[in-house]
Amino acid sequence: MNDALRAGVETFAPLYIEVKRLITQGLIEGEWQAGAALPSETRLAQRYHVSIGTIRRAVDELVAEQILVRQQGRGTFVATHDPKRLLFHFFHVVRNDGVKEMPEPEMLAFERDRADTAVARRLNLLPGERVFRIRNLVRLAGEPMILDELVLSQARFPDLTEKIFREREATVYALYQTRYGINVVRAAERLRATAAERASAKLLNVRPGAPLLEIHRTAMTYHNTPVELRTSLVNTAAHEYWSDFGKA
């Protein structure tokens, strides 16, 4: 594109970074929906007036970030939130012997609330903005194992109701993606050990004061924009949190 696309951009970046930004923009604007195929690399090269090598460099990074998926001979696709992706990329609790079990969530409460300063900061909202608070009990192999609370901006999920959330057919992130066009692409997690309070202990079937793993997650969409806060309490008597999935 030789400066054509760069015109008007103050700060110059490598071409492949610009191309990556343009592709991401297309994803944000819904030009390519989840599961859809992108144009072939040849066509993308024509469209952005760069060589195929530059396209490949940009797509390489989006594939590394698990935003796109390449399939040789078929094409390049927008990653979808199927159960497999959830398990491998966003769910890190594993049985002691290494077996991954599919989480089975049950909604306990669905409330409307307002963001305090901490929530506002972490969700990029103003203090006092409306949020949903949703509590779930998650079972593994039928046993209650995780208690979590989600916080979402009402502005971002305008018509979300308790019924929609409870009766969804797929994972929570698939709901965000299909109904609201919000594609969660990354999650940052912070962990600590804590003691079970009476209410949590009862739900998780442990004694009050028992050690639980507390996980604070911020789930993000493109450009690291936060869209969901989640606090999980995990009974790690027979399970562990695996910190390094995926690498080599």
Q: In the complex, which residues of this chain contact its own copies (CB under 8 A)? A: 65, 92, 94, 186-195, 209-214, 216, 224, 234, 236, 239-244, 247-248
* Residue 40 interacts with which of its own copies, DNA, none, CB < 5 to 8 Å by class: DNA
CA 247 to mean position of chain CA atoms: 19
Q: Is 50 exposed, middle or buried (0-12, 13-18, 19+ CB in 10 A)?
A: buried
By beta-carbon proximity to its own copies, the closer residue of 149 and 189 is 189
Scanning the structure block, which residue is given the tokens 């924009």? 225
By beta-carbon proximity to its own copies, the closer residue of 178 and 221 is 221
* Residue 195 interacts with which of DNA, its own copies, none, CB < 5 to 8 Å by class: its own copies
* Residue 46 interacts with which of its own copies, DNA, none, CB < 5 to 8 Å by class: none
Residue 11 near DNA by CB under 7 A? no
Residue 40 near DNA by CB under 7 A? yes
Residue 2 near DNA by CB under 7 A? yes
CB atoms within 10 A of CB 58: 25
Q: Give the one residue of 54, 80, 177, 221 binding DNA; rule: CB under 7 A.
A: 54
* Residue 210 interacts with which of DNA, its own copies, none, CB < 5 to 8 Å by class: its own copies
Residue type (1 letter), 161: T
Residue 73 near DNA by CB under 7 A? yes
Residue 71 near DNA by CB under 7 A? yes
Residues 75-104 interacting with DNA (rule: CB under 7 A): 75-76
By beta-carbon proximity to its own copies, the closer residue of 175 and 219 is 219
Least Cα distance to 79 among 177, 205, 197 occurs for: 177
Least Cα distance to 75 among 44, 116, 118 occurs for: 44
Question: What one-character-per-residue DSSP string does 18-37 give?
Answer: HHHHHHHHHHHTTSS-TTPB
Q: How far is the CB of 73 from DNA (least distance, A)?
A: 3
Output the six-digit token pair for 111. Answer: 């409330």
Scanning the structure block, which residue is given the tokens 């940052």? 188
* Residue 139 interacts with which of its own copies, DNA, none, CB < 5 to 8 Å by class: none
* Residue 56 interacts with which of DNA, its own copies, none, CB < 5 to 8 Å by class: DNA
Residue type (1 letter), 209: G
Q: How many residues bind DNA (CB under 7 A)?
A: 26
3 state SS of 222: helix
CA distance 76 to 53: 15
